[in-house]
């Protein structure tokens, strides 16, 4: 027999995880707007609750529309399974929930979205968790920060706000040596540009709100499990490697193998945390993913031209974009993201903080919003908004210094994007 041909990315983004509705023949995935599902009989219900049979119980746990999205994202990322939830922040909690406990810690990059830094360094304390922020440009520093209580490494593929790439293979090697998983936020890159699992990541998280949906309509999150990490290799992850008291003593690792993490996240994570994605959000995101590659190609091409134009403009002090030949991250970006360095970057404007404010206030095509990955071009002054809660030292480390703005370049005509920046810079630096 010949080996089944693997479908290309453009085909997967349209077809993966979905089929015509068996009841009606509907070609597009229906929105299953229902709370609960009728069991065939008492034995059927028991099998579902015992995880002996896959099916639908209650929409806090599973829903056919959300399930289709989970299957599609898992296939695009090359994972064994995926779980969708209510937001990117929810995805981060969900990803770490089976791994963590009071007194335990993660080692995370200091180049992260400001809201993530606050979640990790402040909110996690309420769970008894700790986050150590380390420069992931230095794998040796990451290794040195790991101790007996470390349960995961966490980074972003292309870090928000400056789009700085992470050497995922190098960090994955550190995690493998310590017997702990690497969790990678792939929101800014998407699986079209980077597949972290192929580079060694254990888990991938997304804010599906951003590029995957692509139109600024709904919030959502996703966790993708590679299915390649051996949760039974040590005693660090008892929720997966030992009888789980929160699920009548089931040992997820022994019973479910590569799907252990995914089923744990549904059966316990969604059940008890309730961070559920609604079916309408899943539907919008399924529609968005159908054009992901087309949009990302345009995003990347536009970002490259805009960054080059800004770098040559004497009203700009610096452009932090890994796609520029002058960037110290250019070689790494080419290595992990050969299709392009994304469309998110920061710009230091001459005149500092006040000029940044004037630039934001005088743009006409750009939208001033706390979002990224929209089809529209977006701008924000991170130091006074998304990274406001951080110290200035943390802002600088994250790439969100007071004298920079973050640009999320959209899919408009690139000449119109540049013209808008040109006129606003004239006002901002006059």
CA–CA distance, 154 with 106 (Å, rounded to integer):
7
- Residue 121 falls inside a structural domain: no
> Do residues 47 and 83 both lie within one domain?
yes
> Do residues 414 and 303 both lie within one domain?
yes
- Residue 174 falls inside a structural domain: no
Which pLDDT does position 353 carry in this prediction? 87
The sheet carrying 378-380 orders its strands as 316-320, 344-349, 404-408, 378-380, 367-368
Tokens of 94: 């969900």
The CATH number linked to 309 is 3.90.1150.10
- Residue 172 falls inside a structural domain: no
3-state helix, strand, coil in the chain (%, to 5): 40, 15, 45
> Do residues 297 and 260 both lie within one domain?
no
- For 47, list phi and psi in degrees, rounded to 5: -60, -40
- Residue 113 falls inside a structural domain: no
* Of the candidates 104, 106, 59, the residue with the CA atom closest to the CA atom of residue 86: 59
> Do residues 366 and 258 both lie within one domain?
no
> Do residues 55 and 34 both lie within one domain?
yes
> Do residues 279 and 308 both lie within one domain?
no
Query: How many Cα atoms occupy the beta-carbon half-sphere of 36 within 13 Å?
Result: 4
- Residue 166 falls inside a structural domain: no
> Do residues 319 and 225 both lie within one domain?
no
> Do residues 274 and 350 both lie within one domain?
no
Query: Which residue is listed with tokens 């050497």?
Result: 167
- For 367, list phi and psi in degrees, rounded to 5: -105, 135
> Do residues 61 and 206 both lie within one domain?
yes
> Do residues 87 and 234 both lie within one domain?
yes
CB-CB contact of 372 with 160 (8 Å): yes
Coil, helix or strand at residue 225: strand
> Do residues 90 and 218 both lie within one domain?
yes
CA–CA distance, 209 with 383 (Å, rounded to integer):
22
| 383-417 residue pLDDT tens | 776 666 667 777 666 667 788 999 999 999 999 99
Coil, helix or strand at residue 407: strand
> Do residues 251 and 191 both lie within one domain?
yes
| 293-327 residue pLDDT tens | 999 999 999 999 999 999 999 999 999 999 999 99
| 72-116 residue pLDDT tens | 999 999 999 999 999 999 999 999 999 999 999 999 999 999 899
Total number of domains constituting the chain = 2
Which pLDDT does position 386 carry in this prediction? 64
Tell me which of 288, 319, 349 is where a domain ends. Answer: 288
The domain of 91 spans 9-99+181-288
Q: What is the pTM of this model?
A: 0.94
């Amino acid at each position: 027999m010949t080996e089944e041909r693997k479908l290309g990315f453009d085909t997967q983004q349209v077809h993966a995880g979905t089929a015509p509705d068996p009841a009606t023949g509907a070609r597009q995935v229906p929105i299953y707007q229902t709370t609960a599902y009728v069991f065939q009989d008492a034995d059927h219900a028991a099998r579902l609750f015992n995880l002996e049979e896959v099916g639908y119980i209650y929409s806090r746990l599973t829903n056919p529309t959300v399930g289709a999205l989970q299957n599609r994202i898992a296939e695009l990322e090359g994972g064994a399974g995926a779980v969708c939830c209510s937001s990117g922040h929810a995805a981060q909690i969900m990803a770490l929930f089976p791994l963590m406990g009071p007194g335990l810690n993660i080692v995370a990059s200091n180049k992260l979205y400001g809201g993530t830094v606050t979640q990790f360094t402040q909110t996690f304390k309420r769970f008894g968790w700790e986050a150590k922020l380390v420069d992931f440009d230095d794998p040796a520093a990451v290794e040195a920060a790991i101790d007996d209580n470390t349960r995961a490494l966490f980074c972003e593929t292309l870090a928000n706000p400056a789009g700085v790439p992470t050497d995922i293979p190098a960090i994955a090697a550190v995690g493998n040596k310590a017997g702990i998983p690497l969790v990678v936020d792939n929101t800014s890159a998407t699986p079209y540009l980077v597949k972290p699992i192929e580079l060694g990541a254990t888990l991938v998280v997304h804010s599906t709100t951003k590029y995957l949906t692509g139109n600024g309509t709904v919030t959502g999150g996703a966790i993708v499990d590679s299915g390649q990490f051996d949760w039974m290799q040590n005693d660090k992850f008892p929720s997966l490697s030992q009888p789980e008291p929160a699920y009548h003593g089931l040992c997820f690792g022994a019973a479910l193998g590569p799907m252990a993490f995914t089923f744990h996240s549904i059966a316990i994570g969604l059940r008890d945390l309730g961070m559920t994605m609604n079916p309408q959000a899943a539907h919008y995101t399924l529609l968005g993913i159908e054009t992901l590659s087309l949009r990302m190609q345009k995003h990347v091409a536009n970002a490259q031209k805009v960054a080059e134009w800004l770098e040559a403009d004497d009203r700009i002090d610096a452009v932090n974009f890994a796609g520029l030949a002058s960037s110290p991250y250019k070689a790494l970006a080419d290595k992990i993201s050969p299709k392009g360095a994304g469309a998110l970057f920061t710009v230091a404007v001459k005149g500092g903080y006040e000029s940044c404010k004037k630039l934001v206030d005088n743009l006409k095509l750009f939208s001033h919003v706390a979002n990224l990955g929209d089809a529209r071009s977006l701008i924000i002054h991170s130091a006074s908004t998304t990274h406001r809660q951080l110290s200035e030292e943390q802002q600088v480390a994250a790439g969100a210094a007071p004298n920079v703005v973050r640009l999320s370049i959209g899919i408009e005509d690139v000449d119109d994007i540049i013209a808008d920046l040109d006129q606003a810079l004239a006002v901002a630096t006059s």
